[in-house]
Amino acid sequence: MKKIVTIVGARPQFVKAAVVSRALEKSGIEEVIVHTGQHYDPNMSALFFEEMQIPLPKYNLEISNLSHGAMTGRMLEEIEKILIAEMPELVLVYGDTNSTLAGALAASKLHIPVGHVEAGLRSFNNLMPEEINRVLTDRIASVLFVPTTTAMENLRKEGFENFDCQVINCGDVMQDAALFYAGISDQHSTIMAQLNLENAPFCLATLHRQENTDDPKKLKNIFDALNEINRTTRIVLPIHPRTRKIMTEAGIHPSFELIDPVGYLDMIQLLKNCRTVLTDSGGLQKESYFFKKYCLTLRDETEWIELVQNGYNLLAGNDPSKILEAYLELLSKASDFSGNLYGDGHASEIIAEYLANL
């Protein structure tokens, strides 16, 4: 039986790993899950494993709340020990976090092949730590599982056909998750009743990117815009613990209620029922599309450029006037989500089949 070590540490990775882990089990692959602990809040970690029925991690490193360098270094050290003990045929990493890069580096130093799920994405902004993580991980990966034709083109332009690696356009595993968990969410989530949202229009917002949260002026600008929108349509914002702490220190006081982080099933219900989405999250931009909602992205660029090109996503940065202008534009859009940008919902099966035949 083939053995694969999976490295996860943040909310989007739990979602992606859930559907891939299920496909790996069906393919007869032994999977050892390592949770770095990068997201340490119970609602952002333990809850996801429970409600999404992901196999519990064999290892939990509990590494969080450190600088980028310290966090990545600690993860690299501890993951290396695990890989020496487990000796898998491949290490599977997801996305663009410090956990992603640490897992890929640890494996490559030990000459263990690396599989990168969600490869080929580019924001072309090297000030973003996520951009550095994804570019370096792609370069040392042995097999790149690519979600879109745009990502395939990015890798072609960077000369990946000249590197010793396999590039596979498998579609997006997040689409698999959205399709699988949508019905389960309807049965189990009570978030709409809890927040008294069943008969009230609302906008779903999230905010966690360091480019926004670490700059008090940018953060205040965004909340000024959200406060203005909240005057006519309620804002619902599950707040990242780190963002809440920074807001308190900066003296930022929103005019709407902040709620604790929610699990994936609750997030699906919020997405299904909201009026529109305002976020700086990469994953939520796609999830908005999956559930046929327009998205206003609180950044100047996005790695999901096809959403912008097809009119599903507007980039507004952190300027209050641009955010309000883009919000009004979204409200006037007609709902047309007939396209299919991210595959057919079988990405995880394609990944598992490839790994089973290594």
Catalytic residue set: 208
Instruction: Give 267-322 as a DSSP string.
Output: HHHHHHH-S-EEES-HHHHHHHHHTT--EEESSS--S-HHHHHTTSEEE-TT-HHH
> Phi then psi for 127, rounded to 5 degrees?
-75, -15
Residue 163 makes CB contacts below 8 A (sequence gap 6+) with: 139
E strand spans, 2-102 = 3-8, 30-35, 59-60, 90-94
Are the C-beta atoms of residues 103 and 112 closer than 8 Å to each other? no
DSSP 28: T
Neighbours of 77 (CB within 10 A): 13
Q: Which two tokens stand for residue 216?
A: 């008090």
> Phi then psi for 238, rounded to 5 degrees?
-70, 120
CA-CA distances (angstroms) from residue 17 to 102, 141, 284, 322, 355? 17, 18, 16, 36, 14
SS3 145: strand
> Phi then psi for 176, rounded to 5 degrees?
-55, -45
Amino acid 65 reads N
| Complete edge-to-edge strand list for the sheet that includes strand 258-259 | 258-259, 234-238, 202-206, 277-279, 295-297, 313-315
Instruction: Give 61-75 as a DSSP string.
Output: ----SS-HHHHHHHH
Strand 234-238 and strand 202-206: pairing?
Answer: parallel
Neighbours of 337 (CB within 10 A): 15
